[in-house]
Homo-oligomer: A and B are copies of this chain.
Amino acid sequence: MRSPVVPEAVSRPTLEAVATRAGVSRATVSRVVNGGYGVRESLAERVRRAVAELGYVPNQAARSLVTKRHDAVAVVIAEPEARVFTDPFFALQLRGISKELTAHDNQLVLLLTEGRDDHTRVARYLAGGHVDGALVFSLHLDDPLPGLIHDAGVPTVFGGRPGWRDRTGTPLYVDTDNRGGARTAVRHLAGLGRTRIAHITGALDQTSAVDRLDGYRDVMAETADGGGDPSLVVESDFTPAGGERAMRELLDRRPDVDAVFAANDLTALGALRVLRERGLRVPEDVAVVGFDDMLPLAEQSDPPLTTVRQDIEQMGRLMARLLLRGASALRDGSTGSGREGTSGPGGGDPAARTPGPGVILPTTLIRRESA
């Protein structure tokens, strides 16, 4: 049986061919193709027609060879666990990144890693100068990859606040306002008159989980109660099963709990299930708030989940924007603009805060029926 894909090594037209056809030099064609400044309009028009007729597309390899640019960005997702693939988080970020890169004519090179071997592979690839920059998701505090990449000298923006301590120079990153969002959630619960508000944490080797826990503590500390009762905090791992386990433990330990702030929606779902199973009503007996606003799950849970929404796609967009922007800033010779720290780099996102090298996106409380 013949191979269904026909090779057709049709040699594609070159600049030279276009030049000949238009009766000009290669240099002129090149100018037109790259913006066309400084070329008489009549000529430019001739060239454009030749390009169209020949179906000319620039050879990116040849171009890169001389410009040392690639118009390509690597997206590195380091996640040994399969969690990445279990929630739409990562897909939404990719979507945002993709849109932004596309808008700037950049390609997205996806690097998925799991395990040590991949680390060196990725580090080498990035150090190899095949892309103009990297967007890196560092999910775990102990992951060595982000550090390796940072050291590789490639312009990089991180997704989520990286958790290093011992390194000099915090890298650029974009993150959700996890701490602020957590505060909002807990304040909402307090505003409902709840006094024994528990927290089921996420995996504490991730900054997002730590930050949400901190936000919870912030509010509990303010509380009249004198807050921060450790028996109200149960460590978990962002999964539904973990949420169930934690909720059971919590109920056993503190049967008087009247509200739960879960580190994410998946966890909240697990908690909801246990609450129902124990015959407790939500929100009457126990109010529940999640985090993420993961659709359609959050909407269709029973009862529909009150939760803290984060705009994940926007996070991706901003990461890409920041990388592209930073790159040009560097090229302009600026030593690191003083403006970047004060105005949002989004250029259209007044709501985003930028403390130091990080861009923090705001959250919104979505009220449904669970609290």
Contact = CB atoms under 8 A, between A and B. Distances in A.
Interface string A69-81: 1111001000000
B91 A171 contact: no
B59 A5 contact: no
A10 B153 contact: yes
Copies in the complex: 2
A132 B328 CA distance: 29
Contact of A2 (B57, B124, B335): B335
B300 A336 contact: no
Contacts of A61: 60-62, 64-65, 70
Contacts of A7: 155, 327, 330-331
Interface of A: 1-10, 12, 34, 55, 57-62, 64-65, 68-72, 75, 84-88, 90-92, 94-95, 98-99, 102-112, 118, 121, 124-125, 127-130, 132-133, 153-156, 169-172, 239-241, 273, 295-296, 300, 302, 324, 326-331, 335-338, 340-342, 357
Nearest to A98: B112
A98 B111 CA distance: 8
A3 B296 contact: no
Contacts of A129: 9, 12, 57, 59
A46 to B, nearest CB: 22
Contact of A57 (B8, B112, B124): B124
A119 to B, nearest CB: 13
B102 A121 contact: yes
